[in-house]
């Protein structure tokens, strides 16, 4: 076994796995764990089929258009959640929704499968999984040690997924409103990062720019929250709609 190749693949794939797990945990905690896990499973199945069908030809898969489509969709959806989070916290406060098992009926239908949560988790897992597969093929293929690269990537997936599974209880303790705002910031950040890459733009600092984007969108949410309160949004009772229909 080539330890250098395994270590390099572990670190490179680890960054992608962190992004994948963050999206699944965020969707599960704010929408539906069932939809998030089924979406993640669906993404993994598509990935396995692609890897089996393409093998080392994965290196030639054009990631740029996939990043553009997935990124643009995540960005517009993330901004919707950021907006809803700000409006709801402005009307009801930060603490509402702490320890709730279910999210608002306006977001996730109680009697139906949450397809939106499914799509979000599916896209996150399939895109990140594809990037991991490309890393494995590129690093392992270049060094002539594909087996070592697979072991490194598999270790990253197992270790970081276990960490994600261990942290979900902590995430569940965050009040639902605050979580919605933060998840909106998180999805917007991934969306911005991938969509800009999809149109050929490069981020300064590479993947580290993601942390800057999360900070930017979270700060934007907090600043806009004060702005909305200043614009005298009327207070609506918890769980009810405002007359504009937006505080569902």
Partner 1 sequence: MIVVRWVRAFVGFWIDFVIGDDWTVAATVLVALLATWGLTQAGLPAAWVLLPAAAVGSTAVGLRRAAERARRSTPPR
Q: Which residues bind partner 1 (CB under 8 A)?
A: 68, 72-73, 75-77, 79-80, 82-84, 86-87, 90, 115-116, 119, 188, 192, 195-196, 199-204, 209, 213, 216-217, 220, 224, 227-228, 231-234, 242-244, 246-247
CA distance 39 to 232: 39
In angstroms, what CA-CA distances link 39 with 47, 122, 126, 200, 248?
12, 4, 9, 28, 25
CA distance 91 to 95: 12
* Structure-token match 């306006």, residue found: 106
Q: How far is the CB of 81 from partner 1 (least distance, A)?
A: 9
Indicate the SS3 state at residue 107: coil
- Residue (of 136, 128, 138) closest to 153 by Cα position: 136
Q: How far is the CB of 33 from partner 1 (least distance, A)?
A: 20
Q: How far is the CB of 79 from partner 1 (least distance, A)?
A: 5
Instruction: Give 28 or 78: the residue with its C-beta nearer to partner 1.
Output: 78
Instruction: Give 98 or 248: the residue with its C-beta nearer to partner 1.
Output: 248
Instruction: Give 165 or 215: the residue with its C-beta nearer to partner 1.
Output: 215
Instruction: Give 52 or 201: the residue with its C-beta nearer to partner 1.
Output: 201
Q: How far is the CB of 243 from partner 1 (least distance, A)?
A: 4
Q: How far is the CB of 71 from partner 1 (least distance, A)?
A: 9
- Residue (of 19, 45, 10, 4) closest to 150 by Cα position: 10
Instruction: Give 51 or 68: the residue with its C-beta nearer to partner 1.
Output: 68
Angle at 42 between CA 139 and CA 10, to 5 degrees: 25
């Amino acid at each position: 076994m080539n330890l250098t190749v395994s270590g390099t693949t572990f670190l490179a794939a680890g960054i992608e796995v962190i992004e994948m797990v963050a999206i699944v945990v965020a969707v599960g905690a704010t929408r539906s764990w069932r939809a998030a896990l089924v979406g993640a499973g669906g993404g993994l199945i598509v990935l396995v089929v692609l890897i089996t069908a393409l093998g080392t030809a994965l290196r030639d898969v054009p990631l740029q258009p996939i990043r553009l489509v997935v990124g643009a969709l995540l960005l517009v959806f993330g901004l919707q959640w950021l907006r809803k989070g700000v409006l709801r916290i402005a009307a009801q406060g930060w603490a509402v929704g702490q320890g709730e098992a279910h999210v608002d009926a306006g977001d996730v239908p109680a009697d139906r499968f949450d397809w939106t949560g499914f799509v979000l988790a599916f896209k996150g897992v399939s895109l990140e999984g594809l990037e991991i597969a490309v890393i494995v093929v590129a690093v392992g293929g270049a060094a002539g040690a594909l087996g070592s690269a697979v072991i490194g990537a598999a270790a990253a997936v197992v270790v970081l997924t276990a960490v994600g599974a261990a942290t979900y209880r902590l995430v569940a303790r965050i009040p639902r409103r605050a979580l919605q705002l933060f998840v909106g910031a998180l999805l917007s950040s991934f969306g911005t990062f991938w969509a800009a890459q999809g149109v050929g733009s490069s981020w300064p600092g590479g993947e580290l720019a993601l942390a800057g984007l999360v900070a930017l969108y979270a700060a934007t949410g907090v600043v806009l929250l004060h702005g909305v309160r200043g614009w005298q949004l009327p207070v609506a009772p918890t769980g009810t709609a405002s007359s504009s229909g937006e505080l569902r």
